[in-house]
Amino acid sequence: MRCDVIRFICWAALLTALGVTSPLWGQSEPQPQPESGFQDKVSVAYILVPVIARSPVGYAQDLVADDFQLLVDGQPIPFESFEVGATAPISILFLQDLSGSMANAEKLRLSRLAIERLLDQARTGDQFALASFADGSLTLDIPYSGEPDLIDKAMPLWRPYGVTGLHDAVSGLPELTRDRRSARRAAVLITDGADNASELSPSEARDQVRQAELPVYVLGLSTGSPDVLDRDGKKLHRYADILNLLAHLTGGQYFWVSNSNDAIGAARAIASDLRHQYVLGFSTSDSGRQKYRELEVTTRKKKVQLTFRRGYEGPPPRVPIDLNP
């Protein structure tokens, strides 16, 4: 699976008839990548930084703009926009692993259950999309739509097959979501974490994902806890650690899913997070060096912990300070 190629494959007859399939790569003849593809080094016009604020008793819902400080590469900068409100529409892309290791019926059932529970919480204005990957193919099965029923009809057609190129598939998130610029948006990756075919390393995939500029929530099916160590002090569940790091760096969360209650709880937590986001925004310069820039958000409120994306790739902020352009 190569991230610089867009290829065309067919989906099941029902989805073809509905006209909702948009394969990205995997089969047939390669097509040139659009100029706006996710690997291009282009200027970033505006950066959105979703922030989740938690207190010891739940979400901290009464914060105002003055309660936050935003830093880029360690330097404080003013942010130009500040959004809050649980009623704002959300956009979610589901990225489903359909490789052969997912053939266990329990894994597919838990995948469907988590997605169904998230769709059940849809509100007017929310939009959802479904993509899947297996055996070197990454396919946008259902483009963003305000009709959750399209995804409900697609899930019974799942047929796992082939090897797993997890890291390559994850690196396609910027391409899959490049037209979605809404403030409250996220990707939900559902996988058993067993990568055996990727060309990209986990760190290379994370570098690509940063360009999607959205939190990635990961549901690891029987992948274990990232905090468990073996007798030598090493991570016992290696894939869990990789998936957890991916979620952490993008401002999302990792969930270890082994039963129905886990799947339902993860869906509830993701929906709640997206409804309770604060979103800070700032413009970037039209000049300056393109590079990865670290983001940090702090708050003057005591006992409030923040979750946020850890950086972006692009030019420096459009502010009158020197941030090593």
263-301 pLDDT, tens digit per residue, is 999 999 999 999 999 999 999 998 888 899 999 999 999
| Same domain membership, residue 78 and residue 143 | no
pTM for this prediction? 0.83
| Same domain membership, residue 172 and residue 130 | yes
| Same domain membership, residue 298 and residue 168 | no
Distance of alpha carbon 133 from alpha carbon 246, whole angstroms: 18
Higher pLDDT, 324 or 39: 324
Q: Is residue 325 part of a domain?
A: no
Per-residue pLDDT at 88: 82
Q: Is residue 202 part of a domain?
A: yes
The position carrying tokens 């058993």 is: 192
| Same domain membership, residue 282 and residue 259 | no
State the total domains in the chain.
2
Say which range, 58-67, 125-134, 176-185, 252-261, has the weakest mean pLDDT: 176-185
| Same domain membership, residue 109 and residue 78 | no
Q: Is residue 55 part of a domain?
A: yes
Q: Is residue 2 part of a domain?
A: no
Per-residue pLDDT at 94: 98
| Domain boundaries, position 116 | 17-29+87-275
Q: Is residue 1 part of a domain?
A: no
CATH code of the domain containing 149: 3.40.50.410
| Same domain membership, residue 191 and residue 59 | no
The position carrying tokens 């995997």 is: 26
| Same domain membership, residue 173 and residue 93 | yes
| Same domain membership, residue 219 and residue 110 | yes
> Tell me, what amino acid is at 13?
A
Q: Is residue 121 part of a domain?
A: yes
Identify the CA nearest to 112 among candidates 101, 91, 125, 97: 97
Q: Quick one: pLDDT band at residue 14, thresholds 50, 70, 90?
A: very low
Token pair listed for 253? 């969360």
| Same domain membership, residue 201 and residue 246 | yes
Phi, psi of 197 (to 5 degrees): -150, 0
| Same domain membership, residue 105 and residue 142 | yes
Identify the CA nearest to 138 among candidates 21, 221, 40: 21
Q: Which H or E element spans position 249?
A: helix 238-250
The answer to whether residues 316 and 293 touch, using CB atoms and an 8 Å cutoff, is yes
| Same domain membership, residue 299 and residue 200 | no
| Same domain membership, residue 268 and residue 282 | no
Per-residue pLDDT at 159: 94
Q: Is residue 324 part of a domain?
A: no
Distance of alpha carbon 173 from alpha carbon 177, whole angstroms: 6
pLDDT digits (tens, 9 = 90+) for 197-238: 899 999 999 888 988 889 999 999 989 988 888 888 777 788
Strand partners, 188: 94, 217
Q: Is residue 10 part of a domain?
A: no
Per-residue pLDDT at 219: 98
